[in-house]
Structure 1
Amino acid sequence: MMMYLIRKFYRALRVLYYKMARVYSWIISCLKFYLNGVQFSYDFIGFGIPILDINMRGKFTIGRRFRFNSGKYHAMGGRQQQCYFVVAEGAELSIGENVGVTSVAIICHDKISIGNNVKIGINTVIYDTDFHSLDARYRNSYPERLDGVKSRPVVIKDGAFIGGHSTILKGVTIGRNSIVGAGSVVFQDIPDEQIWIGNPARFVKENQYSAVLI
């Protein structure tokens, strides 16, 4: 009986903690969004605190009903981390309405556009840049030269679903209501209403479950 009561007390503490964490996360995240010049709606739901690095000449917009899970206590799916949102000088990151993400890293050096009703699974990374030059002379110089570093826009259309631990690379468009299987590496466009899986991601079949409200 005593052990049962202890367990009940412990579970009650957990419930209380997560209720408090939601309020705390919302307050701190609001402050971070505001100080980084993010255009956002106050109806977002956040668990955990995201990491933001938004250049003064970059732009980051978030639509209504945004939801995120950030950090090891709020994203218990393995390889969890805080959410990272990075926007370089002159770059533009836009997230549409009713988007949900968990422990993502979105690094924008050019333009990344995420549509409405998009779900992005745990530990997914989205890069619109190579970060380093493909020319070994520049890449291996000291200090490293960034000549020839390539960046191209990433577009994720309405209703897309990206499985956890996926990597989305520069210049990619993911079609409306399309699904990217967990652990995939995407370096080419995915048409609307399709399912792609693998490294590199390949077409599997048409998406027969595409009744997403847009």
Structure 2
Amino acid sequence: MRLIRKFYRGLRVVYYKLARLYSWLITCFKFFLNDVKFYTDFISYGIPILDISPAGSFIIGKRFRFNSGKYHAMGGRQQQCYFVATKGAHIEIGNNVGMTSTAIICHERIIIGDNVKIGINTVIYDTDFHSLDANIRNQYPESIEGVKNKPVVICDGVFIGGHTTILKGVTIGKNSIVGAGSVVFQSIPDEQIWAGNPAKYIRDTYSIKLSLVNE
């Protein structure tokens, strides 16, 4: 039985190494087809879904790392990563950014800075998708007239907990933290912790640093 367990574990190691290589190759090809600007030092566990308009753009910095799909970073509610940029939209991801099962849906502009960590199943939208005017929204076929888009900016060093929703027009300040399961519809200053639905101020990140020093 011990030999069988060792064989199984060894087989898993080989499988994951091959799966990682396969994911990287397929992701490179998909990035190329979608005219994504990227560095080849990215780490891909799983394959993302991309829909980048020929009139849109997607730029990725160095050391990008992501988990995509139900067999990677198993934390519940795993989905593939989605990167969508419509006509004229721009997505930009900085250096040393990590994310898991994240959906970035961009109709105007979404900017993510350096050293950002985004938890599992987080979604980032810079659009309302539908008109807020019921008469327009309920037309058949539906009209997109008056749909509101506003850029989203996530600054350097931000940590976003899993299952968070970030809505249009939001800026999350440098080194701030967003608690898991939050819905963020207003901007967050630098060095603050926010959480909840809707997300509200909890405390400054300086208090965490102080408590670590005191320990």
The TM-score, its normalising length taken from structure 2, stands at 0.95
Deviations 1:161-202 (A, max 9, x none): 000000000000000000000000000000000000100000
For residue 95 of structure 1, what is the aligned residue in structure 2?
93
User: For 1:177, which of 142, 155, 175 is the aligned residue?
Assistant: 175
For residue 111 of structure 2, what is the aligned residue in structure 1?
113
CA–CA separation in structure 2 for the residues paired with 1:20 and 1:177: 35
For residue 7 of structure 2, what is the aligned residue in structure 1?
9
SS of aligned partner of 1:8: helix
Deviations 1:9-44 (A, max 9, x none): 111111111111111111110000000000000110
Question: How many aligned residue pairs are there?
Answer: 208
For residue 165 of structure 1, what is the aligned residue in structure 2?
163
For residue 22 of structure 2, what is the aligned residue in structure 1?
24
Q: Calculate percent identity across the aligned residue pairs.
A: 73
User: For 1:53, which of 42, 51, 54 is the aligned residue?
Assistant: 51
Deviations 1:74-132 (A, max 9, x none): 13010000000000000000000000010000000000000000000000000000000
Unaligned runs of 5+ in 1: none
For residue 74 of structure 1, what is the aligned residue in structure 2?
72
The TM-score, its normalising length taken from structure 1, stands at 0.96
Q: Is 2:148 the partner of 1:155?
A: no
CA–CA separation in structure 2 for the residues paired with 1:61 and 1:158: 16
Paired amino acid for 2:122: T
User: For 1:199, which of 192, 197, 200 is the aligned residue?
Assistant: 197
Instruction: Report the more deviating stretch, 159-168 or 7-16.
Output: 7-16
Moved segments of 4+, more than 6 Å: none
Paired amino acid for 1:205: R
SS of aligned partner of 2:2: helix
For residue 63 of structure 2, what is the aligned residue in structure 1?
65
* Structure 1 residues 34-49: aligned runs within 5 Å: 34-49=32-47
Superposition RMSD in Å: 0.8
